[in-house]
Amino acid sequence: MTSLFERLKADCKGEWDAYTDHAFVRGMADGSLPEASFRDYLVQDYLFLIQFARAYALAIYKGRSLGEMRGALQGLKAIIEVEMDLHVRLCERWGLTPENLEAAPEKTQTVAYTRFVLDAGNAGDLLDLYVALAPCMIGYGEIGAALTVGTGPLTADDTPYAEWINEYASPDYQELSLATVENLDALASEMMTEARYPRLRSLFASATRLEADFWQMGWDAAR
């Protein structure tokens, strides 16, 4: 069976390319991204991750077996124990504490994206939810790998955003990204029909556009 993720990515190529090759991403790679843009993104992404943790908690609730519940738990732990800790470390350089981050107001793009995913999960089943989550979980892994291809781990001499890039290029995150693809395909093999595919494609396209909007939010912060 063709990978559902690869099919969605191919059918939404314009949205995917606009997300994974956004000016914000290129700016992280070559170091030209203004620090103010990155700081604004990190604060909003911290708030974003709080809501995404809730989405994975919803996946645990919607799990039909212990295996599905354990799979969702791994995603939840990656957010709370790895990604959010990365944001805290990076924000410490500006004197921002976890309390400061959590108290920051959510921007419109943050609200739009996170509530879209939660609504998709609440209204649908596990497949709907994971399709809506896929651009974030898989896309960050693809971006991290692309920015380090041929070079290995980056240093601050390469770009001031090396720590962020290296986190998402790391073997642990790449393994999580691959597991997300495999989980999506396993669910599709059981739950997807051709009649259902247009709905899943719409969910994926919308979530991917919202990811690009999130980069744009940070890009605009210093302008």
Q: Which of 136, 142, 167, 175 is catalytic?
A: 136
Is 136 marked active-site?
Answer: yes
Q: Which among 178, 74, 59, 209 is positioned nearest to 120, based on CA atoms?
A: 59
Domain enclosing residue 86, as ranges:
4-26+35-221
pLDDT score recorded for residue 152: 85
Kindly calculate the radius of gyration of the chain based on its CA atoms and give it in whole angstroms: 17
Is 15 marked active-site?
Answer: no
pLDDT score recorded for residue 114: 96
Tell me the pLDDT band of 150, cut-offs 50, 70 and 90.
confident
Measured N-to-C along each axis, helices 84-91 and 162-169 cross at an angle, to the nearest 10 degrees, of: 170
- Name residues whose C-beta falls within 8 Å of residue 25's C-beta, 6 or more positions apart in sequence: 143, 147, 215
Tell me the pLDDT band of 223, cut-offs 50, 70 and 90.
confident
The model's pLDDT over 3-19, given as tens digits with 9 standing for 90+, comes to 999 999 999 999 999 99
Long-range pairs, 17-20, Cβ under 8 A, ≥24: 18/208, 18/209, 18/212, 19/135, 19/139, 19/208, 19/209, 19/211, 19/212, 19/215, 20/139, 20/142, 20/143, 20/146
Q: What domain count does the chain have? A: 1
User: CATH code at 83?
Assistant: 1.20.910.10
The model's pLDDT over 37-92, given as tens digits with 9 standing for 90+, comes to 999 999 999 999 999 999 999 999 999 999 999 999 998 998 999 999 999 999 99
Q: Which of 83, 142, 167, 211 is catalytic?
A: 211
pLDDT score recorded for residue 184: 94
Contact indicator for 168, 140 with CB cutoff of 8 Å: yes
